[in-house]
Amino acid sequence: MTQTAISAEDVTWTDPTCPVARTLDMIGDRWSLLIVRDAMDGARSFTDFQQRTGIARNILTDRLRRLVERGILDRQTAPSGKRQLYALTPAGRDLFAVIVALRQWGERHAFAPDETHSVLVDELGLPLPELQPRGSSGNPADIDTTSVRKGR
């Protein structure tokens, strides 16, 4: 059975009332996010993840275990019975917007203007438009138009 949320008793949280901190506690290291990225791009086996990321075997084993425990990936035995296969859970699939936001930030800030990089495209082969959060009015939202309400 896939776990969809982790209770406060399961983890020592960095900041128990902050959704950003809890998310980072669950999936916040670079290897975990790269594994999620690759799962979104079709990686399923230990070998797939290792070849795509170059991650050390012991670290990959640990991150896959954590992602399964935290309800981000499901693990199942392959039909051959010889290896484990991993698939994103609904919670893992919900990280798509996070991965797209990180990618788009990287396109704007981690590359020189003329530097080549991969591009995420839609079903028509066109680059995805820039993600833009919107407020309840439908207007663009940013740090100047939002605030955090504590203790909800």
User: Any idea where the domains of the chain sit in the sequence?
Assistant: 19-109
Q: Given this model, what pLDDT does residue 49 score?
A: 98
Given this model, what pLDDT does residue 7 score?
Answer: 56
The pTM of the full predicted model, rounded to 2 decimals, is 0.86
Provide the pLDDT for residue 59.
97
Q: Using H for helix, E for strand and C for coil, what is the string for 99-118?
A: HHHHHHHHHHHCCCCCCCCC
pLDDT at 53: 95
CB 35 within 8 A of CB 67: yes
Residue by residue, what is the 3-state secondary structure of the chain?
A: CCCCCCCCCCCCCCCCCCHHHHHHHHHCCHHHHHHHHHHHCCCCEHHHHHHHHCCCHHHHHHHHHHHHHCCCEEEEECCCCCCEEEEECHHHHCCHHHHHHHHHHHHHHCCCCCCCCCCCECCCCCECCCCCCECCCCCECCCCCCCCCCCC
Can you give the pLDDT at residue 46?
97
To the question of domain 19-109 being in CATH 1.10.10.10, the answer is yes
13 and 82 in contact (C-beta within 8 Å)?
A: no
Q: What is the pLDDT of residue 6?
A: 60
Output the tens digit of pLDDT for each of the chain's 152 residues. 344 556 555 668 888 889 999 999 888 799 999 999 999 999 999 999 999 999 999 999 999 999 999 999 999 999 999 999 999 999 999 999 999 999 999 999 999 999 999 999 999 999 999 999 999 999 999 999 999 998 75
What is residue 151's predicted lDDT score, i.e. its pLDDT?
Answer: 77
Residue 77's CB is within 10 A of a number of other CB atoms, namely 10
Cα–Cα distance, 122 to 146 (Å, whole number): 30
Question: Using an 8 Å Cβ cutoff, are 137 and 145 in contact?
Answer: no
